[in-house]
Structure 1
Amino acid sequence: MKKFIRNEKAFTLIEMMIVLLVISVLLIIAVPNISKHNSNIKEKGCEAFIKMVEAQVQSFEMDKNRLPTDLAELQTEGYLQDNQLTCPNGDIVTISSTGAVSANNE
């Protein structure tokens, strides 16, 4: 008669639960930090977008000898892409009559 040898090299339920507990604790620590950094990244992106729009306003002024009235004019003249009216964080970008660029969350 043949004897069947059982291979008992497997994880127990307790070992699997410990691994899941460690992963859960790491996620609980990591998720709030990621969301905090996400808003910081969007704020930095908005600052960079405003600086880029300021540069485009200056370029428009040098080319046309006048300031643009709004972002739509910069878009139609080809200084901004079609989807670039707001900051990454959702703030609305505006151009004042003096050419100053600012972002307002409305």
Structure 2
Amino acid sequence: MKNQKGFTLIEMLIVLLIISVLLVITIPNLAKNNETIRSKGCEALVLTAEAQVQAYKIDQDTFPESLDILVTEKYLKQKTCPNGKELNYVPDTGTVTNPN
């Protein structure tokens, strides 16, 4: 036979084994960090909503009755956290809190 170049079946199996082991290690870490990312996203949304409540108060000289007003008047894009829960809002004080 002539000098043929290529991978043997054993070499291919070893490469597939290494890739599989890396995937088994990586996927659970991604799933675990996904919850952390969602909670941080909710914390950031609370801070943004509080700032927008203050901006609305400066513009209108009163706190908004609900976060729906901030959404309809384009102060906020959403009032729902990445985990699907809505922010808590106290209109008397303009306080926005995390729904968790």
Q: Tell me which interval the TM-score lies in, with the shorter structure as reference length.
A: 0.7 to 0.9
Structure 1 gaps, min length 5: none
Is residue 2:87 matched to residue 1:103?
A: no
1:65 offset after TM fit, Å?
1.5
Is residue 2:16 matched to residue 1:20?
A: yes
Structure 2 gaps, min length 5: none
1:48 offset after TM fit, Å?
0.6
Matched positions, count: 99
Q: CA RMSD in A?
A: 1.6
- CA distance in structure 2 between the partners assigned to 1:93 and 1:57 by the alignment: 13
How many percent of aligned residue pairs carry the same amino acid? Answer: 52
State the TM-score, normalizing by the size of structure 2.
Answer: 0.87
- CA distance in structure 1 between the partners assigned to 2:76 and 2:47 by the alignment: 13
State the TM-score, normalizing by the size of structure 1.
Answer: 0.83
Match of 1:92 among 82, 86, 89: 86
- CA distance in structure 1 between the partners assigned to 2:74 and 2:16 by the alignment: 53
